[in-house]
Amino acid sequence: MKTASALRELRDLRNTLKGTLGLVPTMGYLHEGHLSLVRRSKAECDHTAASIFVNPTQFGPSEDLSRYPRDMPRDLALLEAEGVDLVWTPTPDVVYPPDFQTWITVEKVSQPLEGAHRQGHFRGVATVVAKLFNAFTPDRAYFGQKDAQQVVVIRQMARDLNFPLEIVVCPTVREDDGLALSSRNAYLKPDERKAATVLYRALICAQEAFEAGERDAGRLRAIMSSTIAAEPLAREDYVSVAGPETLAELDSVERGALFSIAVRIGATRLIDNFLLETSNSKSQTFNGDE
Ligand code: AMP
């Protein structure tokens, strides 16, 4: 496995890779969710690359940038064990040199949900992902359904800016009790870790109500809210029942809808979502060059 921190070095190493390249962008502190993306890329591409970069521009001023968990030696060992070919570990000044002043704003789909609660978050995400696409020129890029809105924003950006690559979305990997794996789970104290299953429980309650025939989005949101309210350590940021592409809130719900929630457990903010299965929901890829 080759690693690079300078951009020139990365480009030189990338140019030695012939055949198709899959890219897995990450902020490190890797877990099985990240590794599931790596494995999917390994299965579908001739070569697999990853980036480890805690992107400062997607954190708000009151967010957890300085305490975001990091363990570069462990991350590199995990990627090497998976057979990754190339890893980029830039420092912030490599990605954002002095006098950096070009930003990518994806408009409508960045506004609700996470965008409404994390000012500037998706501007940082879209900008860094565009830079990663330019640096690696991958044939496919792998993202987790865990960050559902991020997928929508990046698809829109890839389409609007004609990035010639395929966006592949991989299912959310969960702990046995349903908690979605996240680097931020490391912040949770033992009682908070137990309470954190409330996100999954709320989503399951809403899904069960839908399967039992409930089609009123307001009532489905209320079911999620009351599940969260019943957990003493949890505080709701938002619950949403929205269209999977526009992310606009729905009045009445059909298959394919996106249920998503953001909850604070103590000082830790967690998100999760379910995409209600449709009969043709297998088509989870998008080619940005179409
Ligand atoms: P992050 O390091 O949190 O920026 O995540 C890097 C990539 O891994 C993103 O595409 C995430 O959506 C994805 N990811 C994070 N957690 C999970 C999970 N539990 N299951 C699947 N993918 C995940």
pLDDT, one tens digit per residue, over 203-212 is 999 999 999 9
Of the candidates 125, 140, 173, which is a domain's last residue? 173
Whole-angstrom distance, CA of residue 12 vs CA of residue 152? 31
Q: Which residues pair with 26 in a beta bridge?
A: 52
Check whether residue 207 and residue 97 sit in a common domain: no
- What residue numbers bound the domain in which 207 lies? 183-275
Is the pLDDT score of 44 beyond 80?
yes
216-239 per-position pLDDT tens digit: 999 999 999 999 999 999 999 999
Ligand 1 contacts CB of residue 75 (under 6 A): no
| Residue 289 located in a structural domain | no
**DSSP H or E stretch at residue 113:** helix 113-117
Ligand 1 contacts CB of residue 200 (under 6 A): no
Percent of the chain with pLDDT over 70: 96
Check whether residue 31 and residue 136 sit in a common domain: yes
The answer to whether 34 is a known catalytic residue is yes
Is the pLDDT score of 190 beyond 80?
yes
Is the pLDDT score of 287 beyond 50?
no
Q: Alpha-carbon Rg of the chain, whole angstroms?
A: 19
**Given this model, what pLDDT does residue 283 score?**
37
| Ligand 1 centroid to residue 25 C-alpha, Å | 9
With cut-offs at 50, 70 and 90, classify the pLDDT of residue 290: very low
Pairing of strands 21-26, 140-144: parallel
Q: Which of 34, 47, 117, 121 is catalytic?
A: 34
Check whether residue 169 and residue 192 sit in a common domain: no
Residue with tokens 């012939």: 18
Please give the average per-residue pLDDT across 234-250, as a whole number: 98
CATH number of residue 132's parent domain:
3.40.50.620
CATH number of residue 240's parent domain:
3.30.1300.10
Check whether residue 40 and residue 152 sit in a common domain: yes
Please give the average per-residue pLDDT across 255-282, as a whole number: 89
Mutate to test the pocket of ligand 1, among 24, 34, 75 (most ligand atoms within 8 A of CB): 34
Whole-angstrom distance, CA of residue 170 vs CA of residue 132? 19
With cut-offs at 50, 70 and 90, classify the pLDDT of residue 286: very low
Question: Phi and psi for 220 in degrees, rounded to 5?
Answer: -65, -40
| Ligand 1 centroid to residue 213 C-alpha, Å | 32
Nearest one of 126, 169, 157, 170 to 289, comparing CA atoms: 157
| Residue 239 located in a structural domain | yes
Nearest one of 138, 150, 174, 199 to 31, comparing CA atoms: 174
Quote the number of domains for the chain: 2
| Residue 205 located in a structural domain | yes
Check whether residue 29 and residue 73 sit in a common domain: yes
Nearest one of 104, 143, 147 to 23, comparing CA atoms: 143
Residue with tokens 């298959």: 255
Counting from 1 in the atom list of ligand 1, the atom nearest the Cα of 171 is: 21
Check whether residue 136 and residue 190 sit in a common domain: no
Residue with tokens 């970069």: 53
Mutate to test the pocket of ligand 1, among 147, 179, 182, 203 (most ligand atoms within 8 A of CB): 147
| Residue 191 located in a structural domain | yes
Mutate to test the pocket of ligand 1, among 128, 146, 151, 176 (most ligand atoms within 8 A of CB): 146
DSSP tally for the chain: helices H, then strands E: 10, 10
Of the candidates 173, 199, 215, which is a domain's last residue? 173
Whole-angstrom distance, CA of residue 96 vs CA of residue 55? 10
Check whether residue 151 and residue 188 sit in a common domain: no
| Ligand 1 centroid to residue 212 C-alpha, Å | 31
